[in-house]
Every structure is written in structure tokens, then in C-alpha cells.
Amino acid sequence: MRSYSKEKLHYIINRWLNIRIPPPYGLAFRKNYVEHQEPDSIILRNKNGRIVFSPMAPGIYRVYLRSIYEKETLLENNSLTIDLSNENRAGWRLKTTKNTGEFAYMLSNGLEARLLVDLIDGTLSFLIGSDLLMVQPVSPQTTKDWLLIEKHFSWPGGVKVFGLGENTPPMNKAGQTVIMWNTFPVIYTTGANPLYQSWPVAIIQCVDGPCIGLVFDSPSYSLFRFSKNGKRMKYAVRNTDLSYFILLGPTLPNLMRQLASLTGTLPPLPKWTLGYQQSRWGYKSSSRVREIAAEFRKRDIPCDVIYLDIDYMDRYKCFTWGEAFSDHEELLRELHSQGFKVVAILDPGLKVEPGYFPCETGIKQKVFTVKPGGGYVTKNVWAGPSYFPDFVNPCVGEWWGELVKAFVESGVDGMWCDMNEPTTFDLRGTLPPNAIHKASDMKTLPHRLVHNAYGYLMSKATYEGLKKTTDMPFVITRSTYLGGQKYAVTWTGDNVSNWKHFRASIPMILNLGLSGQPIVGSDIGGYQGTPSPKLY
């Protein structure tokens, strides 16, 4: 009988609980009729669902699909990351025949982009000038739980696929399967998939030709499969409600501007965030932090920031200081006088403990994620049994922001969001898929539909809390979602101090940049192990 290490066995069980294989096919969105048409949009209806085709903004086109199985719609008129009210259809033109709708837009290179909708089959083709770049060989399809979309890229030359966020090499994702399901992989290896973040942005670069983009806005479980030559893409999402966007390019700089227009840009950061930032788990007392700071100055090594990991807390309880940091206010003053800024870690899990202020106020204000049968979801993390804020609930961000504001008034300069995939210390490793989030007074959503956005929403709430104390907040987050650059920078998680991970960090950082996150770093010294002087 094959034996596994404890870590390997946990990894296998975790994947068995979380990883999903989509069906090969479903019910087709075909035999459509035009339910509604406006001067610049078309709505198709068929017995299995509906499709909305409409321009979103200059160079950006939107397709929305909703299946007959969808009961908890999230994305038709709403998005957790994209402002759908910010439509600007200037420059777009629509003309229709009996069976075709043609959306046209003049690109910056003087060529006309055309998106042709087959009104009967609900398929979409994309041309620039006379070049056919993308076709949809089959109608969108649905099952009770999934939406399935297939695209073929018709450029006669080579095609390369970039973006797709935080993934290990190769940088070109042709021939790869990429899963979107925010996960704590416990010291990941190169080739591990999925990781901590989800950026469903596929950049299709035609060799010696145009560049186009596809952005899929669903925080549910999803995956991309690309053929070896990059010319065929299958996308499956475990949801029956989806918006996706086509970025017309036609060059990579054009496409990056379109992506920034769609998902937002990074706000200004304080200058000190551009310097060297020292972060290492294991500084268990204020005296150890002082020793580290003194050695940097003694050795004349430039350093602008020192991070405080979970050991600064009282028994790992967020928004507290432990006995070994009882002089934290004095420590922060000393570090500031020496030219250091301080960034402290925060986890979403809050210890269940009478008298613990965040827990008690959270219970009073009903801010925690609940179980279907009632009662709060309780999972073990660093502090032990903990509750998890329901960041999907708009009211929770304000409560969390006030906790952040009060905490940083002691002198902390920035916040570090960790464990926010969210991660738990059980075999599933995250919240139950049927845990309930309150999207509004009238609507609840199961966790599986919003999982990938949990870290994004935590970093947003943290950013807005810091905004109460400074004009330029600094938040760094381990987990986030499409558009997360609006609130936090990020890093590539728990890497290993070896040459393989060092090489892997370069395409990881580049693809995150191409997905919309312009400020990314890797743990230079490695989370695990100690680098050789040459490697460091």
C-alpha cells in the first residue's frame, strides 16, 4: 500500500474536497429569439436561458449569460469589482439583419473591429479589419451548476496566452489548465494550481499580430483549458450567472488601458512602500524587532519597512498586542525615529472568546458568516475556534474599518491581510460552500458563489479603514480577485528559498501585472528555508 506524508495526504484530500471537474457539455443557448433590442444592445431568449450583448465602454464589449437554473443572480446588474453603471457606449454602432447583429467600433490603428452575433445560435465572432480573430464554435451551454463557453482564435500564425493572474510557470499558458479557486497550498511547488489569487484575465497575443483580451467576472469556482497551440480555449464556471468582457486591443498597451478602465487602477502609494521591506515570521518580542532594526542601521543596509507577523498579537487574536509587545507604542515611536515604517498582519478569523472586543461587537452587530441552519460558521485558525466576518455584507466593511482605524492609531503605518482565501485548519481548508453571506437585506448568497472575492473584500474593508487615518493607505494582501489592485498590493505567497522558486517568481509577477496588478513582489528570502548568499 502506498504511504503518504501528512502534508501530502492533506493536499490530496483538500483537492478532492475542493477541485471540481466540469461536465463536457450541457443544454445549449440556441434557437434564440430577440427578446429586446435597443440602439446599442441585443437581448436573446431561449428555453435554457438568456444572453445580453452590449458595448460597455470604448474598446470594451460585454456579454451576460443567465441560465434557467439561476435563482441567486449576482452579476446581471451588479459586480463586486466592476462598476457596471459606468457605461460609455460612444463610438459603437449596431446594425442588424434577420439572423445577425453586427457591433462595430473604430480602433486606434484606423481599422474597424466587428463583433458578429448569430441571433439564432447565440454565438459570437470577432474581426479586426478583414482578419477573423475569434470564433465561438458552439453556443454557450448550461447545466444545473455550470456555464460552459468555448472560443477559438483564428489567427493564421502563432498564438500565446498570458495573464490569468498568480500561476507558476510556464508564462505562456497555451497547453495549460488554470483553476480559479483561492487556496492556501501549504508551501506550493512550481506547477501547483490553484494558488491564493484569482485573476480571470486571458490575454491572447497573436504572434506578429493583434492582442485581444477576455475578462470573466465570476468569483465562483472556474477553470480555463487551452490547447497546446493556444488557439482553443474552454472556460467553465460553477455558476449559472456570468458576465464576461472582450477587450479589443489591438495592441498590448491598448489592452492594458482597457483593462485598467474596466477593473480600476492602483491608487497612489506612499513613497516608503517602494523601498526594501523586511518581513520574516518569528519576531516573538519587541526586543527582537529592535535587534533586527538596529542591525539594519548598523550594517548600513537600506530598509524602509518592518513587518510584524502574528507573534505580536495576544494569543493570535487580531487587533490586540501580546505581553511580549506590551511596550508597542514605545517600540513604534523608536522605529519611526530610526526611519522605519511598520506594517502589521491581520487575519479574517476572529477568536470566539467572551470579552474579546471584536468578537463581542461582531456578535452584537451580526457581522459574521452564518450556517444554513443558523449559528455562526466556526473554524479553527491560529487563534483557535474563530468566526469569520461576512465581507459580502456592505455593513460589515464599516465595522471592520472602525477596528482597523482604532488599531493603527497606536502608530502602525500599514496593514497586511493574510489567511484570507479564506483559510481554515481543517481538511477542506476554507469555509463550507453552503455558508451564507448576506448580500443585502433581501438577498443571501452561498459561499461557493463568492469564494474568490473574500480576500478582495477584506482588503477593500481594510483599505477603507486606513483611509480614515491617511490619504494614502497601504494594504498588502495574500488573496484577492479581479480588480484587487484598487485596494491592495500583493505578493506571491509562501515560496521556498531555492533557485527554482526564484525563477518561477519572474513569470508569476509578470502575469499578475498583465492581469491588472501592477505592484507585486515575492518573498526574496523565501518563506521556507534560508537562501545562500548568492541566491539572496
Separation CA 325–CA 439 (nearest Å)? 38
Q: Are 489 and 476 in contact (CB under 8 A)?
A: yes
Q: How confident is the model at residue 191 (pLDDT cuts 50, 70, 90)?
A: confident
- Residue 8 reports pLDDT greater than 80: no
Q: What is the pLDDT of residues 509-520, one digit of tens each?
A: 999 999 999 999
> What is the DSSP pairing of strand 414-417 with strand 341-346?
parallel
Contact present, 149 and 235 (Cβ < 8 Å): yes
Active-site annotation holds for 7: no
| Residue 68 to residue 89: CA distance in whole angstroms | 29
Active-site residue, from 121, 150, 390, 494: 494
Average pLDDT along the chain: 95
The pLDDT assigned to 421 comes to 98
Q: How many residues comprise the chain?
A: 536
Of 121, 150, 241, 421, which one is the catalytic site residue?
421
Closest-CA residue to 64 (of 39, 34, 42):
42
What's the mean pLDDT in 36-61? 97
- Listing DSSP states for 465-505 in one string gives HHTTT-SS--EEES--BTTGGGT-EEE--S-BSSHHHHHHH
421: annotated active-site residue: yes
Q: Look at residue 326 and tell me whether its pLDDT is greater than 60.
A: yes
pTM score, whole prediction: 0.97
What is the structure's pLDDT at 61? 98
Question: Which tens digits make up the pLDDT trace of 199-248?
Answer: 999 999 999 999 999 999 999 999 999 999 999 999 999 999 999 999 99
Distance separating alpha carbons of residues 53 and 102, to the nearest angstrom: 10
- Helix ranges, 184-323 (H): 252-263, 286-298
- Identify any residues that bridge with 126 across adjacent strands, giving them in sequence order: 115, 134
Strands (E), 303-421: 305-308, 341-346, 350-351, 379-381, 384-387, 414-417
Of 70, 121, 217, 418, which one is the catalytic site residue? 418
pLDDT bin (cut points 50, 70, 90) of residue 13 is confident
Contact 420, 478 (CB under 8 A): yes
Q: Is the pLDDT of residue 73 over 80?
A: no
Question: What mean pLDDT do residues 317-328 have?
Answer: 98
Residue pLDDT, tens place only, 408-455 = 999 999 999 999 999 999 999 999 999 999 998 889 999 999 999 999
Strand order in the sheet with 341-346: 277-278, 305-308, 341-346, 414-417, 475-477, 489-491, 520-521
Residue pLDDT, tens place only, 243-257: 999 999 999 999 999
